[in-house]
A and B are shown apart, each in its own frame.
Chain A
């Protein structure tokens, strides 16, 4: 067994789940391999700290305190239900006087007439959960969907990114399920994702001369591969089902239900608030829907129960700012097969999971700041073999960039590299930098680096 296979057995080893033979294999390997021994000790240390934390986090009287509060709350509720009914008291007082009885009878006749009139004009009272249940049913089995939407976002940013200061850009999405086989495509000006039933490919049009692509050899489900939450919109049943489950599981979740007449048809509107965990002063706050406080507005046709409109507002300083809206939904649309076929330029640059390099240790030991400095120094020296080690590529033998880009970056001068910082909503690090390019242009940005890959190297994830 190699080191990776041995490391995979560590938890089973600690938990006593290995056979004697397997245990002996791990034991022998640990005697011989310092690297694995170190890994094992580190894992044991975390495990022991968790055991201690488990013992520390106990409260001798929590159970009794909870039960005292439950009893107290139950008594309060009981008193409420046993309170004398004021209407019953009033009824008794009426029945004591003949005049009052006569007036009450007249009033009741009028009340019945008015009540009947209102009853015939009113809609049956449905709850938000009823509306969602019906909408889930209506969305079941929708195999062909074409959506057009608009979003405040940069054309080159990923499908999650929003920018409240930018204008809307168009987005288009298609989904097809044919004989149980899913295919989909999502597109905006600077990038698109195609899932052709076998593979999922992200194509990024970085600029006029460079196209990057990243392929996963899997038939990516919606909302998981490159497309993030946006793809989930194509799974109309899924998003509504999720909203319904949340409404059922979360008793505090407030959903406002209303009706509106549009073009002579009754529409049902649901408004749902969502709060983010991201602090207000976080770097990533309001840069995606999930990193913002938001308001989602669903609109359904009251007859067909189909989702017809969907808007998302970001709540910033008490203001509702529209950031996303579906402008057109076509169900059971006729879709061209060519939508799900890739058409890539020959010189596309393939991104991928960083491989473990022969000198991987040198890179995996770097701090985010060191990685940023070495990357920019390599650009400055024109050492492209070094630069490629900081790019998310599996094939480091590829020519990392075209001559025009090399010319643009070579000879750059590092003006400053700041202290790395993190955001609650991002796994990697941001490193503020300022560089002067050969052409005289000064760039000040935050370089995003992450090392959650099997090579544990920091590679560029944005801001380069």
Chain B
């Protein structure tokens, strides 16, 4: 079985920074999807994902509950995305003197699902990210977030409903 987050974080803090690669591998698809939903711009997403992991690495020692690494990481990604959007809007304002969105924003179909996932509230977003982007089974998710497996399947079911309703409304709009 894969090593758990707590153990990897402990090793990083014990002076084995290379262990952090395991955490990047484990969570990068979820972080990329989350940031794609927020930023909808591939160039910004890559930059924001790097920044998220770098910040996480240098702040590992401040993480109080290593078992909550994933939600902590999403929190960092969320802040990085907001900063990127704020910076981009500043550039747009200076360039065009108009409050129009950047030309780079890709509002096409491509990011609709990711947008829906990024807008899911917790705990639904977490189970979706862990299941489909980190490739964990329902049993592994139950162990990661310390809830019964029945809770995980219920939350997934509810998350599907919410995603469907979001996508349906987006298509109607």
Contact = CB atoms under 8 A, between A and B. Distances in A.
B114 to A, nearest CB: 6
B24 A249 contact: no
A46 B28 contact: no
Interface in A1-20: 7-8, 10-12, 15, 17
Nearest to B17: A70
B75 A249 contact: yes
B3 interface: no
A107 interface: no
Given A59-B46, A62-B28, A42 B132 contact: no
Contacts of B57: 66, 70
Contact of A57 (B33, B65, B72): B33
B39 interface: no
Nearest to B49: A62
B53 A54 contact: no
Interface in B49-103: 49-50, 53-55, 57-59, 62-65, 68, 72, 75, 79, 82
A245 interface: yes
Contacts of A277: 82
Contact of A69 (B54, B128, B153): B54
A250 interface: yes
B7 to A, nearest CB: 19
Contacts of A367: 172
A47 interface: yes
A12 B128 CA distance: 15
Nearest to B35: A57
B6 interface: no
A58 B30 CA distance: 9
A137 B65 CA distance: 20
A217 interface: no
Interface string A37-77: 00000110011011101100111001101110110010000
B132 A50 contact: yes
B16 to A, nearest CB: 13
A49 B163 CA distance: 11
B164 interface: yes
B62 A248 contact: yes
Given A51-B132, A57-B32, A63-B24, A248 B17 contact: no
Interface string B131-172: 111010110000000000100011011001001100101001
A201 to B, nearest CB: 26
Given A53-B114, A65-B50, A59 B156 contact: no
B160 A58 contact: no
B64 A249 contact: yes
A11 B117 CA distance: 18
A10 B28 contact: no
A70 B36 CA distance: 23
A136 to B, nearest CB: 13
Interface of A: 7-8, 10-12, 15, 17, 42-43, 46-47, 49-51, 53-54, 57-59, 62-63, 65-67, 69-70, 73, 245, 248-252, 275, 277, 367, 422, 424
Given A50-B132, A59-B28, 17 more contacts: A11-B154, A11-B160, A50-B113, A50-B117, A53-B117, A54-B29, A57-B29, A57-B30, A57-B114, A57-B133, A58-B32, A59-B46, A62-B28, A62-B53, A65-B46, A249-B62, A249-B75
